[in-house]
Each structure stands twice: as C-alpha cells, then as structure tokens.
Structure 1
Amino acid sequence: MEPKVSVGILWSKEIVFALNGEYTFREGKVAQNNTVSYKDGQILWNGNYYTELCFEPQNCESSFTLKDVVIGINFHWERKEDQVFQGALKLIVENEMITAINLIGVEDYLTSVISSEMSAHASLELLKAHAVISRSWLLAQIEKNKDLVAKNEKYSAFTETEDEIIRWYDREDHVNFDVCADDHCQRYQGITRASENLETVKQVIKETRGQILQSEGKICDARFSKCCGGIVEEFQNCWEDIKFPYLRKLRDSENTQDIPDLTIETEAIEWIDSRPTAFCNTQDKKILMQVLNNYDQETTDFYRWQVTYSQDELSALVLNRSGIDFGTIQELIPIERGTSGRLIKLKIVGSEKTLIIGKELEIRRILSTSHLYSSAFTIDKEDNQFILTGAGWGHGVGLCQIGAAVMGERGYSYDKILLHYYIGAALKELY
C-alpha cells in the first residue's frame, strides 16, 4: 500500500494561501483566499484561535497555493516564489511561528521532487533513476525516524570539546513532519515545476511505482548531490559515523577502480588541481539543463572552482558565520579528508583562538556567505589572501546528478545508473 508523507513547506508569523477547488475544515467548506497569523501562541484564522488547522481536498483536482515560499534557504540563490501543491494543507504552531505542512501520497510527492531537483526535460533514464532514489531516501528516513522513536534514543548531530566543534546537518532536525521541501532534505516545489512537463513525469512515476533500492534487507538511504567532482564521498564522512556498504568511495567514470587515495593531502591537492576524466566533468549545456533549474544555472563553474578572500574578509566572514571570535585568521589547515578529498576537519588558526571544525557542511557554511560549493578544496595563502581551489558541488555522497545525466545521454539504462552509484544494492518493488 502506498504510504503518505508529511512535508514542511513554510515557516512564518503570517501565511497567505489560496484553496483552488473544494476544501473542507471539520466537514465545512472553506473560502478560496485565506490568511493565518501567529498570535498568543496560537493560529488566528477568521477571528478564531486554533492550535492546529487541517484543510482536506474533496477531489484529486483540488490544490492550494502558498504565497512567498522561500526556496534555496541560506544558499546564494535564495528567493521567494508562490507555489502550488496537491493534497491536504496542515497548519501547526512551531517555534513561535506557523508551519505549513503538505500531506500527500508518496507517488504524488515524487512527481514534484524529480522535477524540482532537476529539469523535467531530463532524459527518461535519468528521471527514472531519480524517482527510485528519491523514493528510497524518503522511505528510509521515515523508517529511521520510527526506529529512533521506538528505541527512545536521543539523536545528536553535534559534538564539542575545548579543541573542536563537529556538527552535521540531517533531516532529524525536523520533529513535526517527515521531511522539509528544501535542499536540506529534497527539493519539493509542488506541481509548480512538474507542470512544465507533467505527462513525462507521470510516465516516469508510473513506470517505477513502488521501486526502491535495498541493501542487506533494508531500504537504502540513497543520498545524492549535484556534482561529486570525480570521486564519490562516503556517508560517514558527512553525517553520523555509520558505514553503509552501498555508499562507498567510487570513481565516477567507466573505470571505477582507478581511485587515488584522496585522504592523503598530497594526493588530494594533485587531484583537485587537475581536471580528471569523469562522467560529471562536462560543460555540455544540453546535459546541464537536464539537471540544473534556472536558478542553478547561475552557477557555471562547479567541477573545479576557485574563491579568494583577503585576510580581513575571511576573518570577518568566519566571525559572522560561526559567532566565534578567532581574531585575525592566520592559517587554514586541513586536518582530515574523506575519500573524495572533501575536508571532514579543518583547523582555523586565529590570533585570538584556534579551533578544529567539521563536518563538511559546517566547513562550507562558515567559509561562505551562503555555502561553498563543496569542502573538497585546497588552500593557498599569498600576500594576505586565501585562495580556495575546489572540486564538485554538494556533499558528493551517492548519485552524482550531473554524472548520472551524462550516463543517461550515453545510453545507460536507469538500473545501470543506479547500480553504478549504489554499490551492491538491488532494485526491488516495495508496493
């Protein structure tokens, strides 16, 4: 039986929305245009106070529009747009704001995800592969959350000592819904983008309905990122210290065995300073348009890239982003790298404080006004300037979207694409 998913869409003191088609609240019909406000710890709607509201669609054609949904949260392309969703709209109080949650069947959810994460005009094989991994990742997260609740285990994504701060970011940050709608989990933008090529997307969902990746009897936690930079990263280097057999180091090419040891600093420097052959090493606009939405296409250099900061710029940036006063930043020293050359631990040496930070997303977050493209970078210091030369876009674990797009163009079937990136996994039909 097809499961349902709850998706957190928007957090605000006031939410404006329109109900397109027939919706009910407590069996009564609801007007089309609505506004809710947070007041005195409750939701104010139509002159009454509520702790929770749920608007139920009365037919499959009904949808709702949320105004000013923030997308690309904390990334350089952050912006607001109106978005349209199918299914039910639930409103709750959370962190002194109102949270808008979409309740929807998994397959309808996926119709949006695969066209929000990439262009709906991508090749059929790429879209099929992405449908399977998005479904797998989602159901794996729901199962993981059930296990945590059943075991009554406290989940922590943060450790701190006198010498280091290690933090990672995952969907466990969410308590009152399964996943959010932004890059933190999976991009989900309702039927706003799916409508661009809806029939193709529906075909892909129908042909892969219920299909998931499985390993050792469990649904795969099928991670993915924009561009691995040539070598895929391992799960434990970005999140908790768990080794999944299907998320291992991998050369993103037809020769998957030719893998330099990028945990060695000299090897990582040589790799990042070169442009080795890889599926994701492409500048073919036709292929990139399959993966990158219009705002993603504002990014042009991602396989290899470079950022330069003056010493003063870097010192001010790190203070602003971390809230820690290092003083004047004197050195950035790589301490530990993962299998793709991504930094897991970085020592920041300042005139006032020295501290090791990690993991990869925390490093990217602190060293940029939004996020660095990846933590696979080398550091050169010249004339009081720090030059970061990097590889890839995103955490690099699991499927590399640009690499997979190239594979699709070269005639690889979706199952071959999946089994390239998820080593030893099996394709199964769950429902």
Structure 2
Amino acid sequence: MNEPLIQVGILQKQQQIKFALLTAYKLQGRLFPPGDYSVELSSGKICFQEELYDEITFESDHLHTDSFQLNDVIIGVNFHWERKEDQRFLGGLKFIVEDNGITAIDIVSLEDYLTSVISSEMSATSSHALLEAHAVISRSWLLAQLYKNKHIDRQNDTYQTAFITATEIVRWYDREDHKNFDVCADDHCQRYQGITKQSTKLVEEVVKKTHGEVLMYGDDICDARFSKCCGGVMEAFENVWENVPHPYLQAKPDNAIEGYSAPDLTVEEEAEKWIRSSPDAFCNTTDANVLRQVLNDYDQETADFYRWKIVYSQEELSSLIRQRSGIDFGEILDLIPLERGASGRIIRLKIIGTERVMTIGKELEIRRTLSKSHLYSSAFVVDTEDENEEGIPQTFTLTGAGWGHGVGLCQIGAAMMAEKGYDYKAILHHYFPNAETGVKY
C-alpha cells in the first residue's frame, strides 16, 4: 500500500473565499503564478476570474513543498474560543459547490497531514513518547475512517446516526456527514492547521520514525479515538457512537495502581460520589509543564478540566435548551440521568419541563444541548436550588468530570505518562488494551 493522499475540508459552504497561491499551481493545464486570488458563488457555480466552474482543482507538481493560504479559516467551530485566522497548507487546493456554498479542500499526503495534526492538536515541543503515541493513533484513526467510509457507501441507506421518537432523541456525531471529502480540519475530526503553526524537527522526526505505523486489532486498523481528559476512567466506544463494541476501546481506570478497579460508574450513586471527588489518575494533574504539552494557547483558556462546575439560572437554562434543541420545554424542573457509561458520562438524559418531557442522548447531543458551545463532558451531576412558590428551581449547578468524550487515549493522561518515563508503546498499551502496533505502508 502506497502512502495515501487525504482530502481535508478546510472552509465549508462559504459565499466567497479569498486565498493566495504561495507557489505556482496549475489549473486545467494553465500555470497560475504566486499571488492573491478569490472565488465566489454565482448561479450555483464557482466564479473564478469571471469564468464559471462546477469544480476547481489547483494542482501541485511538488506535493510536499507547494503551498497556499486560505483567509479567515474558522477554528474551534462552536467552541467557546471559536475564531478566524489565515492558514497556510501544503499540497493541492480544490474548490467544490456544497449546499449552496463553496467548500475549500486541501489535497495532502497522509504523512504531511500527520505532521500538522500533531503540531495542531498539541505543542510541537511535547515529549518524544507523547508525540510518537499521537502519531500512531492519528494515523490509525484516519485510515480506519477511510475504510469505514467505503463500508458505509456499500451500505447505502442502511447506516444511521440517529434514532428519534416522540419522546426521545438519540444522536451521535462522527465524521460521516463529510461526504465530499475525507475529514474536516477542526476538532470534529482531528485539529489540522496545515503549516500555519511552525512544526519542529522533533515532530518531523517522530512522523518519519513511525512512518506507516498503526494500531491493529487482528487484521483491522484500530479506530483509535482520543480526547483531552477522560476524567479518571476511559469510556467505551459504544456509549458515545454506534452500538458496536470495540475490544480496544473499553472502560479502564486512567492510573497504574496495582490491582485497582474503579467503582461501577453506571450506578448513579457511585457516579455521583466519583464526580464529586478527585480520584488519583494520570490526567489528574496541575503540572503546568505537562499541560503546556497538550493545551495550545486557546485551550489554556480552559482552567478546569479534571473536575469543573457551571451554574445556570432558570432563565439561562430554559432559554439555552430551547435555543440549542429547538424544543420549548417551558421552565426546567429537573435534569435526570437515565443511563450512564463506564466513565460516568451520561448516555441518556431526561429533561423535565413544565411544557415538555423529553429524553436526549448520546453524550455529545447532551453536551451541545446544555451549553452555548460544548459542555466539557456529559459526566456531571445536577444540584437544584432556590425553588419559587410553585416549587420550580431557580438555580442549577452542574458539577462535572473530564473534557471530551473520554474514549481511547486521554491526551493529558498520556502527557503525564510520558513525563513519568513511559515509552510510546506503553502509553498505547495502556489506552488501547488488546491492540498491537504494525506497519501498514
């Protein structure tokens, strides 16, 4: 198998996109020199230099060195630190029409993509073992998605990511909605910012050293997931996405205490005690040197992640849920966990309002409904206070654990393992039990 080319969606569904070719590119055999350019939507087509196209591809003769810049790329989509920045990328540049807008796609080699992902997801000055582990899992995840896409295409209309009834909405969010490219460039897939952020010789060395190396389970490439902070216990894949157990993505405490087993966090009483406490775990750290390896500048705007707290007034919460879900529950009476996963993350949450009662899931649907961006995680307990004369609470306090879905590698925990001297294979074995490393190309 040769090294694949990856199509990465950078800017999606825009009316106009301004860009710069930093080296010469070809379009339909015609050479375009370095300079500033733009495309805009016109009559459902792409207008470029007064010509209309269904699709445009600026082809690169030197895939690893030719580069371009896209202006006003949105990063941190729907997160609290969402912003725009100009970004530079290696490879070819493709524009397509998508849902009455223009989408910009980077055509890049998989290993160049990985060099950027590792530098974008965390500090390019992180420890060697952490970067090696991340190179292997990022490569594995991406190849697993490419194979999964082919499988989904063969299924035609049988693949589902939501089940909706009159009283329950269960959705999970993976990357299957990217039908016109392989992956997006934001946290929804893997954070990818091209060559905007300077990489280091260490990152380049790590990618080269692990070239083609992936995690395998039997003959299959592992769907190697990761999140910022598991909160003390890793979550099982099937509790976050489709109901297909992965033997290498199962519940496990994030520590190395001999003989330790976490309490059964699917039991409400145990989950509540766990979330309100601060158990020992690799990711339970305030070591600034370790955190700087994983948290980029804008991620460091999040001060609490292992345990956190957020307070809503009745007006704030009812308005937020109405805006985010599109459902008017009236005043909120209670938020009741109906089912929790192995890490204490809520899989199904009953929202009881004066006008409506509805159950929602899975974890990201819950996080999106209860926050203007994304709640840190769905591992939380709820305290209500200040009931009015009608017995309706006026204050809701959510006390939670972890940051992200908690499946697979815990980035902060892995950084701490590296700090303690574990090598990258030990880190991978801890977070992906039953998986083995192998070389795919």
Q: Shared fold by TM > 0.5?
A: yes
Are the equivalent residues in 1 in contact too, given 2:79–2:373 (CA < 8 A)?
Answer: yes
Note the C-alpha offset of 1:216: 2.4
Question: Residue 399 of structure 1 corresponds to which residue in structure 2?
Answer: 409
| Deviates further, 247-256 or 227-236 | 247-256
Secondary structure of the structure 1 residue equivalent to 2:311: strand
RMSD: 0.9
Identical-residue share of aligned pairs (%): 58
Are the counterparts in 2 of residues 360 and 374 from structure 1 also a CA contact under 8 Å? yes
Structure 2 residue 325 is matched with structure 1 residue 322? yes
- Give distance in 1, aligned partners of 2:279 and 2:264: 14
CA contact (8 A) 2:350 2:360 kept: yes
Indicate the residue corresponding to 1:424 in structure 2: 434
Which of 183, 187, 199 aligns to 2:187? It is 183
- Following TM superposition, by how much is the alpha carbon of 1:257 offset from its aligned partner in structure 2, in angstroms? 4.1
Aligned to 1:48: 51
Give the structure 1 partner of residue 115 of structure 2: 111
Q: Please give the residue correspondences for 1:86-125 in structure 2 after superposition, counting only pairs within 5 Å.
A: 86-125=90-129
Match of 1:16 in 2: 18
Kindly report structure 1 stretches of 4+ aligned residues shifted beyond 4 Å: none
What's the counterpart of residue 3 of structure 1? Answer: 4
Alignment size in residue pairs: 429
Matched AA of 1:173: D
Q: Who is 1:216 aligned against?
A: 218
Contact 1:304 1:389 (8 Å CA) reproduced: yes
Which of residues 303, 307, 316 in structure 2 aligns to 1:300? 303
Tell whether the 8 Å contact from 1:114 to 1:127 is kept in structure 2 after alignment: yes
Tell me what 1:201 maps to: 203
Amino acid in the other structure paired with 1:145: N
Match of 2:144 among 140, 144, 149: 140
TM-superposed deviation, 1:414: 0.3
CA contact (8 A) 2:65 2:91 kept: no
Of 374, 377, 381, 2:377 maps to 374
Matched position secondary structure for 2:322: helix
Q: Helix, strand or coil for the counterpart of 1:171?
A: coil
SS in 1 for 2:204: helix
Alignment-mate amino acid for residue 426 of structure 2? K
Question: CA separation in 1, counterparts of 2:344 and 2:327?
Answer: 26
The 3-state SS of whatever aligns with 2:372 is: coil
SS in 1 for 2:59: strand
- CA shift, 1:296, in A, is 0.2
Give distance in 1, aligned partners of 2:432 and 2:157. 28
Structure 1 residues not aligned, in runs of 5+: none
**CA drift at 1:153:** 4.5
Query: Can you list the C-alpha shifts for 1:361-386, whole angstroms capped at 9, x where unaligned?
Result: 01000101111100000001011210
1:410 aligns with 2:428: no
Q: Distance in 1 between matches of 2:195 and 2:138?
A: 16
The TM-score, its normalising length taken from structure 1, stands at 0.98
CA–CA distance in 2 between the matches of 1:61 and 1:336? 50
Structure 1 residue 150 displacement after superposition = 2.7
Aligned counterparts of 1:267 and 1:274: Cα–Cα separation in 2: 11
- Partner of residue 389, structure 2: none
**TM-score (norm. length: structure 2):** 0.96
Name the residue aligned to 1:312: 315
1:155 Cα deviation after fit: 2.1
Q: Which residue of 1 aligns with 2:227?
A: 225
Contact 1:250 1:257 in 2 (8 A): no
1:28 pairs, out of 22, 27, 30, with 30
Which amino acid in 1 is paired with 2:420?
A: R
Q: Is the 8 A contact 2:125 2:200 kept in 1?
A: no
